[in-house]
Chain A
Amino acid sequence: MLYETAASVDWARAQFALTAIYHFLFVPLTLGLSFIVAIMETLYVRTNDPQWKRATKFWMTLFAINFAVGVATGLIMEFEFGTNWANYSWFVGDIFGAPLAVEGILAFFMESTFFAVMFFGWDKVSKGFHLLSTWLVAIGSNLSALWILVANGWMQYPVGMAFNPDTARNEMVSFWDVVLSPVAMSKFLHTISSGYVIAGLFVVGISGWYLLKNRDVLIAKRSMVVGASFGLLVSLFLALSGDESAYNVAQKQPVKLAAMEGLYKGETRAGIIAFGILNPDKQLGDDRHEFYGDIEIPYALSFLGYHDIDAFVPGLDDLVYGNEKHGIEPAQARIDRGKTAVAAFKEYKAAVKAGDDTAAAEARGVIEANIADFGYGYLEKPEDIVPPIALTFYSFHVMVGLGSWFILLFLALLYLTMANEITRFRKLLWLAIWSIPLGYIAAEAGWIVAEVGRQPWAVQDLLPVGIAMTDISSSSVQTTFWMFAALFTALLVAEIKIMLRQIKIGPDGGDH
């Protein structure tokens, strides 16, 4: 590693993870609730029914309470790229910066400008302009997600760039390759639909509470219909986009897929573990069994990863130590090529300084031939390419399990509400309430799969996190970690208390 330092890297990772986890507690709800509010206001404008206006204003108030912390944590994330990951910022800024700038120009301003109109413009602008503003807030919020996920997609699957040894960074050569990368698109669709599901759960859960309390029944039932139909639609889409996402992971990040399934030895016709407890003693390369009490769905992993039930899915052992039969080379070969590239880069720099054009051209050729494995040159051993397996495995299974539950829940709630029978099913209403935190758990688990599952890479195959971080002492990052942890936690507690109180006050309590 370049700097001190596993400790520094771990603290920097922890701090970014902390910020991202908190950010992701607030943003997904914003993404979906903004559309639900827009749908309700549209119904108000079309029907002129004041009950729809009451419902719109009520959910809008909850939206605003949540929105503020999302914005604050988002700002921190943007600047943490610079403060904690300065080397990364330089290495990829030429590419990563562009989507961020587009996000600022095209999305943030739309969101923030019309946010004020949405909340304060009820009696100041026309009904039509107000409705347009509400939709523009929803579109702006979701456009922000698009651009940031394009940037994240590029980190998972870097395309559209070339390494420039003169500037020591990757430079963009195709904007459209970056934007339209299949990984970026599937990440965007899967992530925003997870946010929509959280919003659906939020609305049906709170509506369920009103129905249990027999309060604001009309608004609660109407909200239940909007929330459940929205939730059902998007949770079905979430499953589809999840399938596409897993397919992309299999193609572009096979190590992550193997960790997601706890697959050590590759298999043809590989199954998915429906349930299993990982054997904590299991090590790479040994013959111990991976699980205790596992239940497998045959062929499913081969199909999920390759859309072919006969496909071979490489395991961690294959990817680390190689598998000649299936044409998988050992990670050591990539490390060797990476070290060749890193050494050639140093030679190139020395040759340029010395004015030796021939040596520079030769070194440049070596760099170009080995650039795909450049990041491997900073790894010490083949096992370094494996992410934390248990965390990735359990997160993946929690996410999939909960995603399936949400589909059933929305289906049942929608059917029973439409049949006007929902108030008789009190246990289901309680389940709806308790499913609100489950939505957040599923979304955070998904984030862990995506981000922890790609470790040790800041940029897949090109830049390990140890090289990406700022040259700074672990004590500084540790200090700011605890400062952020304390502040974010205080804000989370404040938000939950305020939110609960507003829900208690309800639509009739006015806008406090």
Chain B
Amino acid sequence: MFEALTFLQLQQYWWIIISLLGGLFVYIMFIQGGQTLLNQLSDNETEKTMLVNSLGRKWELGFTTLVLFGGALFAAFPLFYATSFGGAYWVWMVILFCFIIQAVSYEYRKKPDNVLGQKTYEAFLYINGSLGVVLLGIAISTFFSGADFALDDNNFVHWQGASRGLEALLNPMNYLLGFALLFLVRIAAGMYFISSIDHAPIEAKARTMIKRNIVWFLPFFLGFVAWIFLKDGFAYDAATKAVSMVPNKYFWNFIEMPVVGIMFLAGVVMVLLSVFNTVFRGKSCCAWTNGVGIVLTVMAVLLAVGFNGTAFYPSTHDLQHSLTIENASGSLYTLTVMSYVSLMVPFVLAYIAYAWRQMDRVKITEEEITAPDAHNY
């Protein structure tokens, strides 16, 4: 089946999968968003424990999606994996630290004799939810702003500055996506709390929080969209593979690939609609609409940066060293083999949805959390 596809088609297929995984990962980062809200949405320890438990039942999915995203990039686009992780060393190291401290925090937070104390683990969750998310947004934003690397004849990466990725923090435009992401995942977390916790005070606070965060989200998101639409983009010629700067490249990508453009618009509308329904119509059904909206929007952004003759990881040191889905991918054979493995993805998504549904059929209540034999985080 996949043998019938051309090398380019397989590369495109895998970029679509990476984009889908990226979208799913951003959605699942509602866990991180929720971690920044633990104090804001709770008035007492029981409420905080309800919030932590609600997120704690899902935190592993976030980790797994990140690992899969990394694994799929490694396998499908190994040159990106080597270039970005090896080159932008410090940014990734800080992100990794943010994730290590999250992993233990749920399980250890309330355990007796936990050495570091409950507050420390809550601080870890906050750091992961805020710094981790903003840095991830900044790292993804370098897909549009470029990075300072060169590749030699062996395709080995040589980063040009000593700051090794931290220079991305000096570009104010990169913060637009970083903060847009932060407020987006907080909104998603609010909707998730409403759908999974049966507790009126938390619900009321979550709705107010969503209303405030959409006000913060929109300027950053619209600023990011305006920036990428107005800036010159990194394009490559299909025949010569030469990379050049093209005015408004990303804007034209959305126009020239109408499916991607519609996907982007539909995603944004779904996010806004879910916020409207939650805040103004008092609905509690919107976590899924919001989730689909986020996945579609992020997918569209990633498709726009990888397709239509666009270099998805541009080199600001030398344009010709930029990475494209054609020069950064695995071999024809590997992509073919992995494409068969990818057929498992719908099955995996189906059982995740089933287990999630089974677990969330009954919302978390105060009684459940305070039961003597409850396994609480």
Residues of A within 8 A of B (CB): 2, 57, 61, 64-65, 67-69, 71-76, 78-79, 81-87, 89-90, 93-98, 100-106, 108-117, 119-122, 124-125, 129, 133, 164, 167-169, 171-173, 175, 346, 349, 470-473, 476, 480, 483, 487, 490-491, 493-495, 497-498, 500-502, 505, 510-512
A117 CB to nearest chain B CB (Å): 5
Q: Does B279 lie at the interface of the complex (its beta carbon under 8 Å from any beta carbon of A)?
A: no
Do B74 and A75 have beta carbons less than 8 Å apart? Answer: no
Q: What are some 21 contacts across the A-B interface (CB < 8 A)?
A: A57-B375, A65-B108, A71-B103, A74-B67, A78-B67, A81-B85, A83-B92, A87-B82, A90-B79, A97-B330, A97-B334, A109-B64, A109-B348, A110-B348, A119-B375, A121-B359, A168-B154, A470-B157, A476-B90, A490-B115, A491-B100
Q: Please, how many angstroms separate the alpha-carbon atoms of A161 and B103 in the complex? A: 36
Q: Please, how many angstroms separate the alpha-carbon atoms of A2 and B112 in the complex? A: 51
Contact among A67, A68, A100 for B75, CB-based, below 8 A? A100
Do B63 and A493 have beta carbons less than 8 Å apart? Answer: no
Q: Does B280 lie at the interface of the complex (its beta carbon under 8 Å from any beta carbon of A)?
A: no
Contact among A85, A117, A510 for B359, CB-based, below 8 A? A117
- Considering the complex, give the chain A residue whose CB is closest to the CB of B68: A104
Contact among A69, A94, A349 for B104, CB-based, below 8 A? A69
Do B82 and A120 have beta carbons less than 8 Å apart? Answer: no
Contact among B71, B114, B162, B374 for A104, CB-based, below 8 A? B71
A360 CB to nearest chain B CB (Å): 14
Q: Kindly name the residue among A67, A93, A108, A349 whose own CB sees the greatest number of chain B CB atoms within 10 A.
A: A93
Do A68 and B82 have beta carbons less than 8 Å apart? Answer: no
A106 CB to nearest chain B CB (Å): 6
Q: Kindly name the residue among B110, B337, B372 whose own CB sees the greatest number of chain A CB atoms within 10 A.
A: B337
Q: Kindly name the residue among B86, B114, B373 whose own CB sees the greatest number of chain A CB atoms within 10 A.
A: B86
User: 1/0 per position for B196-215, CB-CB distance to A under 8 A?
Assistant: 00000000000000000000
Do A116 and B57 have beta carbons less than 8 Å apart? Answer: yes
Interface size class of B (residues with CB under 8 A): 35 or more
Chain A neighbourhood of B239, CB < 8 A: none
Q: Please, how many angstroms separate the alpha-carbon atoms of A100 and B113 in the complex? A: 36
Chain A neighbourhood of B74, CB < 8 A: 78, 81-82, 89, 93, 96-97, 100-101
Q: With contacts A108-B68, A471-B159, A498-B114 known, what are 18 further pairs, Cβ within 8 A? A: A64-B375, A81-B85, A82-B70, A82-B85, A90-B155, A98-B338, A105-B344, A110-B348, A113-B355, A116-B355, A122-B375, A125-B358, A167-B155, A168-B153, A480-B93, A487-B100, A495-B108, A497-B115
Give the contacts of B127-157 with A (CB-CB under 8 A). 153-157
A-B interface, 5 closest residue pairs, ranked by CB to CB distance from nearest = A86-B86, A93-B78, A82-B85, A97-B75, A104-B68
Contact among B61, B66, B376 for A511, CB-based, below 8 A? B376
Contact among B112, B116, B334, B361 for A94, CB-based, below 8 A? B334
Do B156 and A86 have beta carbons less than 8 Å apart? Answer: yes
Q: Please, how many angstroms separate the alpha-carbon atoms of A103 and B74 in the complex? A: 12
Chain B neighbourhood of A57, CB < 8 A: 373, 375
Q: Please, how many angstroms separate the alpha-carbon atoms of A476 and B162 in the complex? A: 10
Do A490 and B57 have beta carbons less than 8 Å apart? Answer: no
Do B106 and A72 have beta carbons less than 8 Å apart? Answer: no
- Considering the complex, give the chain A residue whose CB is closest to the CB of B103: A72
Q: Does B60 lie at the interface of the complex (its beta carbon under 8 Å from any beta carbon of A)?
A: yes
- Considering the complex, give the chain A residue whose CB is closest to the CB of B60: A112
Q: Does B232 lie at the interface of the complex (its beta carbon under 8 Å from any beta carbon of A)?
A: no
Chain A neighbourhood of B114, CB < 8 A: 494, 497-498
Do B66 and A75 have beta carbons less than 8 Å apart? Answer: yes
Do A75 and B155 have beta carbons less than 8 Å apart? Answer: no
Q: Please, how many angstroms separate the alpha-carbon atoms of A94 and B82 in the complex? A: 12
Do B71 and A97 have beta carbons less than 8 Å apart? Answer: yes
Q: Please, how many angstroms separate the alpha-carbon atoms of A89 and B373 in the complex? A: 47
Contact among A78, A95, A102, A112 for B70, CB-based, below 8 A? A78
Chain B neighbourhood of A470, CB < 8 A: 86-87, 89, 157
- Considering the complex, give the chain B residue whose CB is closest to the CB of A349: B153
Chain B neighbourhood of A173, CB < 8 A: 333
Q: Does B294 lie at the interface of the complex (its beta carbon under 8 Å from any beta carbon of A)?
A: no
Chain B neighbourhood of A494, CB < 8 A: 104, 108, 114-116
Q: Please, how many angstroms separate the alpha-carbon atoms of A476 and B63 in the complex? A: 26
Chain B neighbourhood of A171, CB < 8 A: 330-331, 333-334
Do B68 and A93 have beta carbons less than 8 Å apart? Answer: no
Give the contacts of B257-292 with A (CB-CB under 8 A). none
- Considering the complex, give the chain B residue whose CB is closest to the CB of A92: B78
B202 CB to nearest chain A CB (Å): 18
Q: Does B342 lie at the interface of the complex (its beta carbon under 8 Å from any beta carbon of A)?
A: yes
Contact among A82, A96, A106, A113 for B92, CB-based, below 8 A? A82
Q: Please, how many angstroms separate the alpha-carbon atoms of A164 and B330 in the complex? A: 12
Q: Does B81 lie at the interface of the complex (its beta carbon under 8 Å from any beta carbon of A)?
A: yes
Give the contacts of B358-377 with A (CB-CB under 8 A). 358-359, 361-362, 372-376
Q: Kindly name the residue among B101, B108, B114, B355 whose own CB sees the greatest number of chain A CB atoms within 10 A.
A: B355
B109 CB to nearest chain A CB (Å): 10
Q: Kindly name the residue among A133, A470, A500 whose own CB sees the greatest number of chain B CB atoms within 10 A.
A: A470
Chain B neighbourhood of A115, CB < 8 A: 60
Do A98 and B75 have beta carbons less than 8 Å apart? Answer: yes
Known: A64-B107, A97-B334, A105-B345. A83 touches B355 (CB 8 A): no
Q: Please, how many angstroms separate the alpha-carbon atoms of A174 and B354 in the complex? A: 35
Do B108 and A89 have beta carbons less than 8 Å apart? Answer: no
- Considering the complex, give the chain A residue whose CB is closest to the CB of B88: A83
Q: Please, how many angstroms separate the alpha-carbon atoms of A347 and B176 in the complex? A: 47
Q: Does B97 lie at the interface of the complex (its beta carbon under 8 Å from any beta carbon of A)?
A: yes
Chain A neighbourhood of B373, CB < 8 A: 57, 510-511
Q: Please, how many angstroms separate the alpha-carbon atoms of A121 and B337 in the complex? A: 36
Contact among A71, A106, A472 for B60, CB-based, below 8 A? A71
Do A75 and B156 have beta carbons less than 8 Å apart? Answer: no
A129 CB to nearest chain B CB (Å): 7
Q: Please, how many angstroms separate the alpha-carbon atoms of A114 and B90 in the complex? A: 34
Do A86 and B359 have beta carbons less than 8 Å apart? Answer: no
Chain A neighbourhood of B92, CB < 8 A: 79, 82-83
Chain A neighbourhood of B348, CB < 8 A: 105-106, 109-110
- Considering the complex, give the chain B residue whose CB is closest to the CB of A71: B103
Do B361 and A124 have beta carbons less than 8 Å apart? Answer: yes
Give the contacts of B323-366 with A (CB-CB under 8 A). 330-331, 333-334, 337-338, 341-342, 344-345, 348, 351-352, 355-356, 358-359, 361-362
Do B68 and A86 have beta carbons less than 8 Å apart? Answer: no
Chain A neighbourhood of B100, CB < 8 A: 72-73, 75-76, 487, 491
Do B75 and A472 have beta carbons less than 8 Å apart? Answer: no
Chain A neighbourhood of B344, CB < 8 A: 105-106
B246 CB to nearest chain A CB (Å): 27
Chain B neighbourhood of A175, CB < 8 A: 333, 337
Q: Please, how many angstroms separate the alpha-carbon atoms of A466 and B112 in the complex? A: 45
Do B331 and A164 have beta carbons less than 8 Å apart? Answer: yes
Q: Does B83 lie at the interface of the complex (its beta carbon under 8 Å from any beta carbon of A)?
A: yes
Do B359 and A102 have beta carbons less than 8 Å apart? Answer: no
- Considering the complex, give the chain A residue whose CB is closest to the CB of B105: A68
Q: Please, how many angstroms separate the alpha-carbon atoms of A197 and B239 in the complex? A: 58
Q: Does B164 lie at the interface of the complex (its beta carbon under 8 Å from any beta carbon of A)?
A: yes
Do A104 and B96 have beta carbons less than 8 Å apart? Answer: no
Q: Does B58 lie at the interface of the complex (its beta carbon under 8 Å from any beta carbon of A)?
A: yes
Q: Please, how many angstroms separate the alpha-carbon atoms of A71 and B100 in the complex? A: 9
Do A501 and B112 have beta carbons less than 8 Å apart? Answer: yes
Chain B neighbourhood of A76, CB < 8 A: 96, 100
Q: Does B241 lie at the interface of the complex (its beta carbon under 8 Å from any beta carbon of A)?
A: no
Q: Please, how many angstroms separate the alpha-carbon atoms of A501 and B108 in the complex? A: 12
Do A94 and B330 have beta carbons less than 8 Å apart? Answer: yes
Q: Please, how many angstroms separate the alpha-carbon atoms of A114 and B116 in the complex? A: 29
B223 CB to nearest chain A CB (Å): 30
Q: Please, how many angstroms separate the alpha-carbon atoms of A94 and B157 in the complex? A: 17
Do B156 and A471 have beta carbons less than 8 Å apart? Answer: yes
